[in-house]
């Protein structure tokens, strides 16, 4: 079954987390000359499969032959094979800006915030601070160019890293000046410091000064951070891993409470993407419950955690969630948005009918917020 285009019935709808399939040559073309020998690139190995190369060495976290499946949303028969090459399997709108705008028109979407694909694979394997920032600067320059002539309908989001917070702050300022409307960061850090650690404050201060949000987006993670505690799962390991993937983002978000980051930066906007949203209610209940005990006195917070969430945080949910619609108004409808994840293979292509069911029980006011108003406000579109 191929991706099926379905027109969504509500106007003013914005995709809070769409993706692009970057050209394989992006880093060779956009990196400064001194870094190009170590560019992120795709090579074909002796086995006939495509291999990702990170920092001049073959990737050990990205499986050979998997790159051609990265744009397989709706392709139930997609399988790894030497013939399935990355650049030959970019679907309509997945790597061409004009096509993406056509796709938005056909699906009745106003705008799409865009995140990378290859850019989600490499950070777990690179601990070189200078090259990390160079990789991100190259991508950020490219995505700004990709979206530049879209009339604001394609919204570029920068990639930053907590490996070097001072350099990340500089890059965020440069990227925002170039048109990016916010930034995302991985749910792990190479230093193993929690994302909310005070050592990362230079980046948070820059985001506040620039009035742009920072979002936690799942990426391929280092083996030490992978949320699988069991062995011998066999073929079920991929199912298990993708189900538990949200744990990384949840722990990253939790660190902003536990370490008082949201207290130190009351105007910092922090989001969680591609991790569902139905868990937020029980997550905040647990935080508030512990805050009211002696254990809660160990956190530098001056008000219950749920109040910080309503003041500063947001989350993007999946259209096929069934529990989430029942908690939006309870938690705060102004904190929620939705996303297609197009064209990634870990989500269904049937987002339009699923999203229509999602919003069918919502009040007109809540529905408008979730479908587009919250994204417009938080990202200053």
337 strand-pairing partners: 316
Beta strand 154-156 pairing with 111-115: parallel
In tens, the pLDDT along 20-46 reads 999 999 999 999 999 999 999 999 999
Residue 77 has pLDDT above 80, yes or no: no
Q: DSSP string covering 14-64, please?
A: EEEEEE----TTHHHHHS-GGGGGG--EEEE-TTSSEEEEETTEE-SSSPT
Question: Mean pLDDT over residues 135-146, rounded?
Answer: 98
pLDDT recorded at residue 36: 98
What are the C-alpha distances in Å from 263 to residues 29, 196, 204, 213, 216? 41, 11, 12, 16, 18
pLDDT recorded at residue 3: 87
Residue 292: which residues within 8 A CB-CB, separation 6 or more? 304
pLDDT band at 243 (very low <50, low <70, confident <90, very high): confident
pLDDT recorded at residue 103: 98
pLDDT recorded at residue 50: 97
Ranking 20-34, 71-85, 360-374 by mean pLDDT, the lowest is: 71-85
pLDDT recorded at residue 339: 98
| Percent of the chain residues past pLDDT 70, beyond the cut | 100
Domain definitions of the chain by residue range? 14-22+100-379
Residue 209 has pLDDT above 80, yes or no: yes
In tens, the pLDDT along 149-179 reads 999 999 999 999 999 999 999 999 999 999 9
Cα–Cα distance between 325 and 366 in angstroms, integer?
10
Residue 324 phi, psi (nearest 5): -55, -45
Could you tell me how far CA 114 lies from the centroid of its own chain? 9
Structure tokens at 43: 């090579």
Average pLDDT, the chain: 96
As a CATH number, domain 14-22+100-379 is: 3.20.20.140
* Global pTM value: 0.96
pLDDT recorded at residue 1: 64
Cα–Cα distance between 55 and 128 in angstroms, integer?
9
Residue 80 has pLDDT above 90, yes or no: no
Ranking 17-31, 195-209, 339-353 by mean pLDDT, the lowest is: 339-353
Question: Mean pLDDT over residues 263-272, rounded?
Answer: 98
Cα–Cα distance between 159 and 131 in angstroms, integer?
13
């Amino acid at each position: 079954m191929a991706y099926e285009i379905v027109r969504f019935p509500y106007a003013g709808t914005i995709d809070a987390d769409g993706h692009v399939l970057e050209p394989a040559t992006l880093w060779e073309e956009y990196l400064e000359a001194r870094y190009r020998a170590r560019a992120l690139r795709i090579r074909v190995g002796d086995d006939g499969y495509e291999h990702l190369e990170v920092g001049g060495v073959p990737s050990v976290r990205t499986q050979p032959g998997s790159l051609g499946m990265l744009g397989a949303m709706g392709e139930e028969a997609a399988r790894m094979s030497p013939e399935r090459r990355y650049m030959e399997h970019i679907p309509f709108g997945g790597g061409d800006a004009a096509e993406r705008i056509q796709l938005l028109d056909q699906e009745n979407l106003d705008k799409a915030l865009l995140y990378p694909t290859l850019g989600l694979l490499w950070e777990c394997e690179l601990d070189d601070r200078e090259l990390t920032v160079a990789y991100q600067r190259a991508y950020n320059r490219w995505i700004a160019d990709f979206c530049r002539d879209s009339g604001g309908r394609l919204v570029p989001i920068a990639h930053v890293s907590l490996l070097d917070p001072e350099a990340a702050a500089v890059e965020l300022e440069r990227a925002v000046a170039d048109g990016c409307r916010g930034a995302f960061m991985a749910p792990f850090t190479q230093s193993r410091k929690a994302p909310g650690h005070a050592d990362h404050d230079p980046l948070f201060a820059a985001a506040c000064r620039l009035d742009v949000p920072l979002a936690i987006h799942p990426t391929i993670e280092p083996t030490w951070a992978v949320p699988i505690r069991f062995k011998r799962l066999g073929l079920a390991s991929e199912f298990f891993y993708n189900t538990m993937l949200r744990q990384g983002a949840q722990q990253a978000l939790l660190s902003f409470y536990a370490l008082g980051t949201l207290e130190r930066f009351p105007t910092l906007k922090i989001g969680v993407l591609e991790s569902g949203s139905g868990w937020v209610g029980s997550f905040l209940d647990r935080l508030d419950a512990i805050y009211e005990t002696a254990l809660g006195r160990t956190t530098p917070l001056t008000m219950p955690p749920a109040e910080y969430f309503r003041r500063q945080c947001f989350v993007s949910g999946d259209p096929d969630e069934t529990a989430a619609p029942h908690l939006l108004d309870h938690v705060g409808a102004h904190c929620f948005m939705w996303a297609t994840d197009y064209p990634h293979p870990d989500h269904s292509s049937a987002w339009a009918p699923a999203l229509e069911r999602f919003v069918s029980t919502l009040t007109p006011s809540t529905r408008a917020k979730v479908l587009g108003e919250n994204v417009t406000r938080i990202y200053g579109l």
